[in-house]
Amino acid sequence: KNEVEQSPQNLTAQEGEFITINCSYSVGISALHWLQQHPGGGIVSLFMLSSGKKKHGRLIATINIQEKHSSLHITASHPRDSAVYICAGEGNEKLTFGTGTRLTIIP
Amino acid sequence: DAGITQSPRHKVTETGTPVTLRCHQTENHRYMYWYRQDPGHGLRLIHYSYGVKDTDKGEVSDGYSVSRSKTEDFLLTLESATSSQTSVYFCAIRDRGWDTGELFFGEGSRLTVL
């Protein structure tokens, strides 16, 4: 069983909608990464967090250590946000990646 | 953007041939990683390096070897490619070790083994 589980696997929304992608992880993970992978394949790091909340532009990442859960939110979604979003848990000198959430924003 | 490049970006080869993928960085970061990405799986670590000539195995290292003779270059070699090694390979770098520092990824190298 993967130690990092993402949901949903696929998400389609209309432009302007508020988007939430979830990531649950197992014991032993002390930091959580959110990554973005666009069609064409390049991977970009969005956030690394171990507590609380981080914000960058329209992107917000939160983590709840007690519940072993993190969320990535996108406000005022735009078609250019269409991508695969990947969470990865880090701990015990290991980085475990989720299988990704494919987000499609329709104009 | 972090200075990290992978080559080749695309390669088609035949079973049994050797293949070397190169990851080159201009950031002087200490840590370098090779991952493979396959449908239905998250990125999986093949090998990583924590300095020149210092490397260690990841979770899917069988059939792969690596070398790092300079800070800027991390080579991944498939001594005798198999069809199961058809994948997209990503190199990543970071300036500090586990639990610290942002990861920067290369653009990926798509390898097809016929």
pLDDT grade for B97, boundaries at 50, 70 and 90: low
Q: How far apart are CA B107 and CA B78, in angstroms?
A: 19
Residue A5 three-state SS: strand
Which of B44, B105, B110 faces A43 most closely, judged by CB atoms?
Answer: B105
Contact (Cβ atoms closer than 8 angstroms) between residue B63 and residue B82: yes
Q: Which positions in chain A have a beta carbon within 8 angstroms of at least one beta carbon in chain B? A: 2, 4, 30-31, 33, 35, 41-45, 48, 50, 86, 88, 90-91, 93-100
pLDDT exceeds cutoff 60 at A84: yes
Mutate to test the interface with B, among A43, A56, A101 (most CBs of B within 10 A): A43
Q: How confident is the model over B10-24, as pLDDT tens digits? A: 999 999 999 999 999
CA of A58 vs chain B CAs: smallest distance (Å): 20
CA of B40 vs chain A CAs: smallest distance (Å): 6
* Residue B62 contacts A, CB cutoff 8 Å: no
CB pairs under 8 A between A and B: 49
Tokens of A14: 């209309």
Q: How far apart are CA A32 and CA A18, in angstroms?
A: 22
Q: How far apart are CA B9 and CA A30, in angstroms?
A: 33
Contact (Cβ atoms closer than 8 angstroms) between residue B25 and residue B3: yes
The distance of Cα A23 from the centroid of its chain, to the nearest Å, equals 7
pLDDT grade for B92, boundaries at 50, 70 and 90: very high
Q: Pick left, alpha or beta for residue B76 (phi over 0 → left; psi -120 to 50 → alpha; otherwise beta).
A: beta
Q: A48–B107: do the CB atoms touch at under 8 Å?
A: no
pLDDT exceeds cutoff 70 at A66: yes
